[in-house]
Amino acid sequence: DTGVSQDPRHKITKRGQNVTFRCDPISEHNRLYWYRQTLGQGPEFLTYFQNEAQLEKSRLLSDRFSAERPKGSFSTLEIQRTEQGDSAMYLCASSPQGAVAEAFFGQGTRLTVV
C-alpha cells in the first residue's frame, strides 16, 4: 500500500497522559500536514512541514502539542498532558511540491481521552 499510513488507528488514554501518533506519508511527497477533526466539522489545520522543516503552526496548536519530521520522511505528533477536549480524529496528509497540489489523507488516528 503506497498511501499515507497512520498509527495507531485508535487510542484511548486517561486524562493527563501523553500520547504520540505516527504518520508515514507517500514516499515522494515532501509536504506533510497534520489536521484535527471533530464531529460535524471539517478538518482544522494544525501544522505543516516541507521536508524536515516545520513551516507553520496553527494557533490551535497549544504548547502541549509538538510535531516532528526528523528526516523529512515520517512524522510524529505528540500531545502532552491530554485533556478531554483533545478527543478528536487526527489526520495526516501529504502532497507533492507544486502550487496546486492535491493532499492525500491517511485514515486518521481517533483519540479518546477519558
Q: Residues interacting with other proteins, by CB under 8 A?
A: 31, 33, 35, 40-45, 48, 50, 55-56, 91, 93, 99-100, 102-108
Least distance in angstroms from the C-beta of 19 to other proteins? 20
Least distance in angstroms from the C-beta of 77 to other proteins? 14
Residue number with CB closer to other proteins (36 or 86):
36
DSSP summary character for residue 60: T
Residue 98: all three cell numbers together: 507544486
Residue number with CB closer to other proteins (74 or 105):
105
Closest to 94 measured CA to CA, from 17, 12, 2: 2
User: Left (φ > 0), alpha (ψ -120 to 50) or beta: where does 99 sit?
Assistant: alpha
Residue number with CB closer to other proteins (54 or 80):
54
Query: How many CA atoms are closer than 13 Å to the CA of 18, on its beta-carbon side?
Result: 9
SS3 63: coil
Least distance in angstroms from the C-beta of 63 to other proteins? 20
